[in-house]
Amino acid sequence: MKNKKIFTGNYYICKKIAMILIVLIVFTGCGQNRITEKEEKKETVESEMNAEVKKTAQTFRSVYMKEKSELNTLKAKRKIINCLEEKGYAAVDCDNQIDMVNREKV
């Protein structure tokens, strides 16, 4: 009779643990990656930025193609910065050899 009570008690404990595990699995999901609104917004902003960069690059594409072999020269950098200035962008070279154009926009 004692053995029956021990078995019955263990059965109910196991049943409770199994139910808790099932509930945890249901509420936490099965490891599916869900895209949150924040991640979606980040992706949208990044795609808009990429589109803007491509549009900006089109402004000086002709200079880039002409000066492709001599891109690291001061002359080529000046031409590119002048193209960006004409389109209204603020620009400066990394070596700080050319004054920033449209600095008031920054």
SS (H, E, C) 66-96: HCHHHCCCHHHHHHHHHHHHHCCCCECCCCC
Average pLDDT for the chain: 79
Q: What would the mean pLDDT of 72-80 be, rounded to a whole number?
A: 86
pLDDT over 60 (residue 31): no
> Whole-angstrom Cα distance, residue 56 to residue 64?
12
Task: Report the residue count for the chain.
Answer: 106
Q: Note the pLDDT of residue 5.
A: 54
Would you state the pLDDT for residue 3?
A: 54
Is 89 exposed, middle or buried, given 0-12, 13-18 or 19+ CB atoms closer than 10 A? middle
pLDDT, position 84: 87
Q: Which long-range contacts (CB under 8 A, 24 or more apart) does 83-87 make?
A: 83/59, 84/56, 84/59, 84/60, 86/59, 87/56, 87/59
Task: Please check the confidence at residue 1 and state whether its pLDDT lies above 60.
Answer: no
Single pTM value for the model? 0.53
